[in-house]
Amino acid sequence: MTSLILRTRALNASRQARCFSTTRRQYAAEVKQLGVIGAGQMGLGIALVAAQRANVPVKLIDASDKALSKGLAFADKLLAKDVAKERITQDQATEIRSRLTGSTKVEDLSSVDFVIEAVPEIPQLKFDIFANLAKVCPSHAILATNTSSISITKIAAATTTDPTDTSASSRVVSTHFMNPVPIQKGVEIISGLQTSKETLDTAVEFCKKMGKITSVSADTPGFLANRILMPYINEAVICLETNVGDRDSIDAIMKNGTNVPMGPLQLADFIGLDTCLSIMKVLYNETGDSKYRPSVLLRKMVDAGWLGKKSGKGFYDY
């Protein structure tokens, strides 16, 4: 009898999961053309993966011609690498590359169904971009941000001067991709207070079409990934500054004791210590919880310009 009950529960759970999946697909809108703002490492990675795996044409936008050229050249390099490793053929690489076009004009996003902003974590910059996207993009287009820490509700609010008008703000969502985008499978989908169900479902389904594994998070400081990751890194820095252990011991015990590919201090270097500090400040200021107080040593290293791999010096020398 117990076995029968368990099988019945498992069958019901399976049916509910299929029903939920079907409902989500019903609400999700089709994405035929994507726009990406920002031709840096994150933006280019998102654009390339969408062109390669979701098979959609992508308009890559950047205010700088130089950054745009550099980004597209990097796309060529990545595709050539895939051809050399026989992951794709040259014909496939050519076809993927043909789906990528660059522009310095935001107005060229007037025909997209979905746009993803991937510019630096500067709140006012993002607010200005979304205010403009609400005017430029079609009335059905999903307006997504790749922010790792800024409130989605605040970004959505920037799309209108009338809080009762949710025609644009309901289409704002976060698709927080992990870096490097072509390799990392995870992506966080975060809804703001104004985000509609259709917007959320469309974002989830499109990211799955890009070959990503999605996690849905509430719009809270740090969301899921950084709410867990950054205090872990910050605590490792505190262990170093209070002489609980030296650099190599801290990284070695986490690598060899928890089977992570990289220790927390080395990971902080790769992320950028200024980025780590910025996110810890957001967590601390937004929650008021002392457990998120940034390490004194982390602040000092950023003040010294020791930002990690990108500056040539952090916890390690590069």
End-to-end, the C-alpha distance of the chain in Å comes to: 64
CB under 8 Å to 143, separation ≥6 — which residues? 115, 117, 130, 133, 134, 137, 159, 168, 171, 172, 173
Tokens of 229: 């990751």
Considering the candidates 176, 234, 278, 295, report the single residue annotated as catalytic.
176
Rg (C-alpha) for the chain, rounded Å, is 21
The response to whether 126 counts as a known ligand-binding position is: yes
Considering the candidates 146, 149, 188, 234, report the single residue annotated as catalytic.
188
The response to whether 165 counts as a known ligand-binding position is: no
Helix or strand holding residue 232 (H, E): helix 225-241
Task: Give yes or no: 226 in active site.
Answer: yes
Considering the candidates 169, 191, 226, 234, report the single residue annotated as catalytic.
226
- The residue type of 82 is D
The response to whether 33 counts as a known ligand-binding position is: no
The response to whether 42 counts as a known ligand-binding position is: yes
The response to whether 41 counts as a known ligand-binding position is: yes
The response to whether 39 counts as a known ligand-binding position is: yes
Tokens of 277: 């500090």
Closest to 40 (Cα-Cα) out of 66, 59, 16:
66
CA distance 35 to 144: 10
The response to whether 185 counts as a known ligand-binding position is: no
Helix or strand holding residue 190 (H, E): strand 186-191
Task: Give yes or no: 196 in active site.
Answer: no
The response to whether 86 counts as a known ligand-binding position is: no
The response to whether 212 counts as a known ligand-binding position is: no
The response to whether 28 counts as a known ligand-binding position is: no
Closest to 127 (Cα-Cα) out of 104, 157, 86:
157
CA distance 298 to 137: 40
The response to whether 45 counts as a known ligand-binding position is: no
* Count of all residues that appear for the chain in the document: 318
Task: Give yes or no: 12 in active site.
Answer: no
The response to whether 209 counts as a known ligand-binding position is: no
Task: Give yes or no: 198 in active site.
Answer: no
Residue ranges for the binding site for NAD(+)? 38-43, 62, 121, 126, 148, 179, 310
What are the catalytic residues?
Answer: 148, 176, 188, 226
Q: Which residues does the annotation place in the binding site?
A: 38-43, 62, 121, 126, 148, 179, 310
